[in-house]
């Protein structure tokens, strides 16, 4: 699908350089630290690569599947609790807690629509258990390796990340409910964030810093992958969000509030300031800006307004998340990005691939030298 190619199109104002439209998924950052063990899961490193640029399609769900605004496992993970014993494996004598495996299972099941564990094929359950435990083992080994290399993360860095994650929630109650659903305390969350940051810093400083990408490699990738640089029609929008009410009376108040804000927009008040002060969307801090997006990356109602409005115009739309004032700030016709437009993203992508290969080698070395014991039945090893 062409939307996957957008990571090489430099059309966004954000420093990542490839399209990111994350306004409709509140918990994309949270999932890195909490879901699937709460810190960088080396199982995912092996199979998908945590450093590879994320496609915008994975950040916004336009239709179907799990609600894009719902964090994986929310209100469903309790069905995956108490599946395993307190300790499911040991690594050099250190335990892998069963609750971490349950969180990883919850995250995996969320992507499948949260089926009943008992209804899954036995061989699939076994293979999944092996894969997820292996990821947790790899994570523990990588954390120990990072610490042994003197990698240090300050309390302020952890707190900064904690605050960023906290802002992904509408309020403290929603965050507490999510943690309760994940069977996780706030202290555990902070510890998981700390571990994630330590491993990330290790990958950046010990592995990634030693790797380079040449101009010849970049040009070869560009010329050898022309389809990767084609893109569909794109639209850039900002929005102000007001959450829908839980009942008819609350929803009427929400509608009145968005109408009042629309009136202020129509009178010429600064849209970015209004978004910062009144929007419940994570994009509020950017003045409501969510960057460029293809039609299929956006909810249908939102996309219809965004692609039909001329640049500079605004309209109210309603989606499952609530009411939005959508303002179109830019459009880009279908085309193909040039090498100069894409070279920074190509360099990042190729360096990430190299980092991934080196990381895989190091994980294998650590596993070969470690004493690993599985304490529950698991299926045959899955090939990376």
Specify the CATH number for the domain of residue 283. Answer: 3.10.50.40
Q: Give the alpha-carbon dihedral of 146, 147, 149, 152, to 10 degrees.
A: 100
Task: For residues 160 and 124, give the distance between their C-alpha atoms in angstroms, rounded to a whole number.
Answer: 39
Q: Which CATH number characterizes residue 354's domain?
A: 1.10.4030.10
pLDDT at position 8, please? 58
250 and 141 in a common domain: no
Tell whether 60 is covered by a domain: yes
Task: For residues 313 and 181, give the distance between their C-alpha atoms in angstroms, rounded to a whole number.
Answer: 41
H/E run at residue 274:
helix 271-278
245 and 127 in a common domain: no
258 and 122 in a common domain: no
Tell whether 225 is covered by a domain: no
Tell whether 239 is covered by a domain: yes
Helix-strand-coil split of the chain, %, nearest 5: 55, 15, 35
pLDDT at position 10, please? 44
Q: Which of 245, 266, 375 is nearest to 323 (CA)?
A: 245
- Taking only the tens place, the pLDDT of each residue in 166-217 is 877 777 888 888 888 777 888 999 999 999 999 999 999 999 999 999 999 9
- Taking only the tens place, the pLDDT of each residue in 268-306 is 999 999 999 999 988 888 999 999 999 999 999 999 999
Task: For residues 177 and 75, give the distance between their C-alpha atoms in angstroms, rounded to a whole number.
Answer: 9
pLDDT at position 93, please? 94
243 and 115 in a common domain: no
Task: For residues 135 and 80, give the distance between their C-alpha atoms in angstroms, rounded to a whole number.
Answer: 18
Four-residue CA torsion sign, 55, 59, 60, 66: positive
Q: How far is CA 262 from CA 4, 206, 226, 256, in A?
A: 34, 51, 43, 10
Task: For residues 348 and 343, give the distance between their C-alpha atoms in angstroms, rounded to a whole number.
Answer: 9
Tell whether 79 is covered by a domain: yes
pLDDT at position 7, please? 55
147 and 10 in a common domain: yes
283 and 239 in a common domain: yes
H/E run at residue 235:
strand 234-243
Longest dimension (CA), the chain: 68
Residue with token string 């435990």: 133
Tell whether 227 is covered by a domain: no
155 and 41 in a common domain: yes
- Residue 150: CB atoms within 10 Å: 9
257 and 314 in a common domain: yes
pLDDT at position 380, please? 61
Task: For residues 122 and 127, give the distance between their C-alpha atoms in angstroms, rounded to a whole number.
Answer: 9
Cβ-proximal residues to 175 (8 Å cutoff; 6+ apart), any chain: 166, 169
207 and 242 in a common domain: no
- Residue 163: CB atoms within 10 Å: 9
269 and 321 in a common domain: yes
Tell whether 226 is covered by a domain: no
Half-sphere exposure of 185 toward its Cβ, with a 13 Å CA cutoff?
Answer: 3
Structure tokens at 298: 């956006």
301 and 239 in a common domain: yes
pTM comes to 0.69
108 and 244 in a common domain: no
Tell whether 25 is covered by a domain: yes
Tell whether 17 is covered by a domain: yes
Domain range enclosing 300: 233-333
Start-to-end CA distance of the chain, whole Å, equals 24
Ranges in the chain, pLDDT < 70: 1-79, 379-384
- Degrees to nearest 5, angle at CA 309 with 304 and 311: 135
Overall number of domains in the chain: 2
Q: Where are the beta strands (DSSP E) in 266-371?
A: 289-294, 314-319, 322-332, 335-336
């Amino acid at each position: 699908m062409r939307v996957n190619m957008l990571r090489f199109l430099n059309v966004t104002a954000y420093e990542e350089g490839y399209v990111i439209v994350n306004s409709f998924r509140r918990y994309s950052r949270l999932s890195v630290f909490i879901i699937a063990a709460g810190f960088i899961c080396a199982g995912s490193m092996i199979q998908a690569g945590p450093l590879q640029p994320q496609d915008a399609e994975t950040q916004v769900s336009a239709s179907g599947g799990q609600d894009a605004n719902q964090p994986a496992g929310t209100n469903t993970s309790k069905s995956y609790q108490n599946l395993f014993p307190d300790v499911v494996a040991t690594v050099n004598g250190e335990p892998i807690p069963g609750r971490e495996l349950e969180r990883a299972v919850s995250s995996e099941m969320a992507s499948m629509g949260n089926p009943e564990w008992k209804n899954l094929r036995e061989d699939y359950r076994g293979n999944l258990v092996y894969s997820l435990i292996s990821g947790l083992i790899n994570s523990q080994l990588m954390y120990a390796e990072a610490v042994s290399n003197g990698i240090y993360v300050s309390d302020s860095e952890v707190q900064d990340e904690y605050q960023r994650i906290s802002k992904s929630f509408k309020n403290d109650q929603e965050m507490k409910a999510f943690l309760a659903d994940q069977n996780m305390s706030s202290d555990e969350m902070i510890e998981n964030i700390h571990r994630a940051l330590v491993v990330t810093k290790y990958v950046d400083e010990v592995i990634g810093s030693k790797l380079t990408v040449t101009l010849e490699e970049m040009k070869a990738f560009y010329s050898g992958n022309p389809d990767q640089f084609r893109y569909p029609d794109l639209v850039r929008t900002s929005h102000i969000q007001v959450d829908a009410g839980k009942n008819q009376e609350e929803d009427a108040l929400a509608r009145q509030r968005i109408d009042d804000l629309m009136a202020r927009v129509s009178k010429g008040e600064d849209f970015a300031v209004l978004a910062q002060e009144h929007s419940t969307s994570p994009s509020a801090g950017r003045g409501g800006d969510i960057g460029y997006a293809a039609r299929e990356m956006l909810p249908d109602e939102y996309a219809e307004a965004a692609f039909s409005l001329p640049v500079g115009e605004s309209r109210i739309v309603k989606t499952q998340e609530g009411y939005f004032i959508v303002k179109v700030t830019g459009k880009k016709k279908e085309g193909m990005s040039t090498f100069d437009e894409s070279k920074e993203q190509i360099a990042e992508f190729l360096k990430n691939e190299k980092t991934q290969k080196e990381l895989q080698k190091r994980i294998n070395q650590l596993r070969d030298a470690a004493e690993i014991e599985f304490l529950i039945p698991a299926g045959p090893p899955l090939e990376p």
